[in-house]
Amino acid sequence: MITLERLWTVEEVSEFLGVPVATLYQWRHHRIGPRSRKIGRYLRYLPEDVMSWVREQE
């Protein structure tokens, strides 16, 4: 059975992590934040990528 999980927006990740949207864009530019993907002109995150990144932080 295939389950499709909805991708998170920048605003949703910002709220989840408690950081400003601008910080997520800076992290993406410096390649230090959670993995993100461009879908057309939109930036999206897989929830499991965000959670994995959170677990890796000390």
- Quick one: pLDDT at residue 5? 81
| pLDDT-derived band at 3, boundaries 50, 70, 90 | low
Number of residues that make up the chain:
58
pLDDT number for residue 1: 55
Kindly report the pTM of this predicted structure.
0.88
CB 13 within 8 A of CB 45: yes
CA angle (40 as vertex; 23, 43 as ends), nearest 5: 15
Going from the C-alpha of 13 to that of each of 1, 5, 7, 25, the distances in angstroms are 27, 15, 10, 11
Please report the pLDDT score of residue 25 as a whole number.
97
From CA 45, how far away is CA 1, in angstroms rounded?
22
pLDDT in tens, 4-37: 689 999 999 999 999 999 999 999 999 999 999 9
Domain boundaries, the chain: 10-56
